[in-house]
Amino acid sequence: MAASTRSMPLRTILLILLLIILLPALLYSVYELTTLSTNEELVGDIYRRQLDVALFSLNQYSWDVASGWASSLTLVLRENGSKEQILNAARRTRVLQGIVLADTGLRSIQWMPVRVGRADGQLRSGLLENREKIARLPMLRRVDDYRKLESILLPDSTILLVFATGDDSRPHALVGMLLGDSSFVHEILEPRIREAAGTDFVLAVTRTGATAPLFVAGTWGGEEIRQQKQLWLFPDLSLGIRLAGQSLDEVVRSRFRRNLLLILLVDLVLVAAALFVYRAFRRESELTRMKSDFVATVSHELRTPLSLIRMYAETLEMGRLKDPGKQKEYLATIVRETERLSHLINNILNFARIDAGRKVYHFGQVQVNEVVTSVVGTYEAHLREQGFQPVVELRTELSPIHADAEAVKEGIVNLLDNAVKYSGERKYLRIATGSEGGRVFVDVEDHGVGIAPHHREKIFEMFYRVSEGDVHSTKGSGLGLALVRHIMDAHHGTVTVTSTPRTGSTFRLSFPLPGNA
Ligand code: ADP
């Protein structure tokens, strides 16, 4: 009953401990998981920013180059240069495929191919379809003095870059520069893209709808491009970016996996620590319980013989008891109870001494048979009175041991006392000595209640008493066997038990011989 009400709070304590430890770890794990998405966003941001920087520089550069061409063409046109001079200016660019001249109203459109001839049909329709955008160019030039380059994507993927010269009244008020965007990328932009990519990034120029890029700066393994944006002058082309080698999010992911593993490891250690604390706590509370049980049993143990002694002594004192037989019986009870009391008090005192480290042993050469004979001699009458016919089997020619005879006696007395206490109806007691494997032993055997396997180790602990069956009603302090073990430890010996429940037990004190210690 007491055990069950006690184990509940213990379990609660374990639960709280685990919660205190696991909850923060769990929260941290969840936090790490959520930061993964934040990290992904961060990674996206880094790509976007880097891409913006690269894109801005490339766009600016493209614009500068095209603008330079526009300036030199404007110059030639202003000076009323011949068609050949205009084409020469275009040839110098290595990229321009031809020049288109037109008036502001797009009524006359003149096509001047640089290298190969091509039909001007697509150019015309391209210009006319973008009439509104183009119409703004002379105005921008006039009002804001801004030479805007309008790019018109033609069906064969060539680009017509149109600008206003500022001479609105002339037939070449508008100039179109025809070029292939891929040759612009290869001839003009390539070194710039490489520079922008550096060693950390891969930059790829891709045509809309195409899977393979037009140009790649860096090592391209067919990986996914993380961010992509259009180039200003070339609406059909876009610039994409990713990290060279392992991508940033891969780095983040592997870091996350490593962190999670670490957390798991830390959690495991913490749980192990919690279990350890819990076990220590349980042990401690068990000890406290056993101590309080001890106090209760010892008080009871002291009170019962005392009240018996007092009762019998008072009866005798009053002289009411005339029957000498009865008188003797009363006196015998008084003596027996006094012996029990002194045995108990002896045990407690000895134990207190051992516990405080104040127990002093007086070692010397000891003949085990002599000690056994002496103990049996002292207690035989008492044993017979209890209904036992002790069987004593002493092995002759035993080597002497190095021991404290009084302490050994005390050990044996405790074993005898237990054999008597836990024997029930079958009153059998055998005390034997012998030697085995360089050791000398004393066996105390009974045919009593026996000890269940799960108690066999614990009965040697302080205050431990078997709390089941008939045994719990037997008086005791739980100190006897702990004392025996202490004594045996001091002798570098052992106390062991072989026992079968309801059949009996044999306790063995085993001493090393001086040469084998
Ligand atoms: P106590 O006898 O005062 O309870 P001990 O330390 O001597 O304390 O013994 C511890 C427990 O071991 C006893 O409570 C009892 O349950 C068990 N025990 C000891 N000796 C025997 C025995 N000979 N037979 C059965 N049980 C025993």
Cα–Cα distance between 308 and 244 in angstroms, integer?
96
Residue 264 is assigned to a structural domain of this protein: no
State pTM to two decimals: 0.49
Instruction: Look up residue 465 and give its amino acid.
Output: R
From 351, 412, 418, 509, the mutation candidate for ligand 1 (largest count of ligand atoms within 8 A of CB) is 418
Residue 421 is assigned to a structural domain of this protein: yes
Report how far ligand 1's centroid is from the alpha carbon of 480 (Å). 7
From 298, 383, 386, 421, the mutation candidate for ligand 1 (largest count of ligand atoms within 8 A of CB) is 421
Cα–Cα distance between 111 and 516 in angstroms, integer?
118
Cα–Cα distance between 201 and 245 in angstroms, integer?
8
pLDDT of residue 360: 86
Q: What residue ranges line ligand 1, CB within 6 angstroms?
A: 418-419, 421-422, 446, 448-451, 459, 464-466, 471, 476-482, 505
Residue 26 is assigned to a structural domain of this protein: no
Report how far ligand 1's centroid is from the alpha carbon of 465 (Å). 6
Please name the residues in contact with 267: beta carbons below 8 A apart, sequence gap of 6 or more: 21, 22, 25
DSSP string across 299-367:
HHHHHHHHHHHHHHHHHHHTT----HHHHHHHHHHHHHHHHHHHHHHHHHHHHHHHHTT------EEE-
The mean pLDDT values, 10 residues at a time, for the chain of 517 residues are 48 77 76 75 81 90 93 90 89 90 90 78 88 90 86 89 89 91 91 88 88 83 74 88 70 78 83 85 82 76 83 88 87 85 83 79 95 92 90 94 94 94 92 95 96 92 76 70 92 96 96 80
Of ligand 1's listed atoms, the one at least distance from the Cα of 480 is: 7
The protein residue with its alpha carbon nearest to ligand 1, atom 16, reads 466
The protein residue with its alpha carbon nearest to ligand 1, atom 8, reads 478
For the record, the structure tokens of 236 come out as 């059909």
Cα–Cα distance between 467 and 482 in angstroms, integer?
17
Q: Largest alpha-carbon pair distance within the chain?
A: 163
Report how far ligand 1's centroid is from the alpha carbon of 282 (Å). 23
Of ligand 1's listed atoms, the one at least distance from the Cα of 504 is: 24
The count of structural domains within the chain is 1
From 344, 429, 451, the mutation candidate for ligand 1 (largest count of ligand atoms within 8 A of CB) is 451
Cα–Cα distance between 373 and 378 in angstroms, integer?
9
**CATH at 475:** 3.30.565.10
Report how far ligand 1's centroid is from the alpha carbon of 448 (Å). 11
Answer positive or negative: Cα dihedral of 482, 484, 485, 491: positive
Report how far ligand 1's centroid is from the alpha carbon of 377 (Å). 23
Can you name the residues that pair with 70 across neighbouring β-strands? none
Report how far ligand 1's centroid is from the alpha carbon of 83 (Å). 124
Our CA angle for 492, 498, 500, nearest 5°, is 160
Backbone angles phi, psi at 283, to 5 degrees: -60, -45
pLDDT of residue 246: 64
pLDDT of residue 1: 35
Nearest to 512, CA basis, from 460, 445, 435: 435
Pairing of strands 96-102, 391-393: unpaired
Cα–Cα distance between 55 and 76 in angstroms, integer?
32
Q: The tokens 């991508």 sit on which residue?
A: 247
pLDDT of residue 248: 62
Residue 207 is assigned to a structural domain of this protein: no
Residue 275 is assigned to a structural domain of this protein: no
Report how far ligand 1's centroid is from the alpha carbon of 434 (Å). 24
450: containing domain: 361-512
Report how far ligand 1's centroid is from the alpha carbon of 476 (Å). 8
Residue 447 is assigned to a structural domain of this protein: yes
Q: How far is CA 405 from the centre of its chain?
A: 55
Can you name the residues that pair with 171 across neighbouring β-strands? none
Residue 140 is assigned to a structural domain of this protein: no
Q: The tokens 């073990």 sit on which residue?
A: 485
Residue 111 is assigned to a structural domain of this protein: no
pLDDT of residue 364: 95
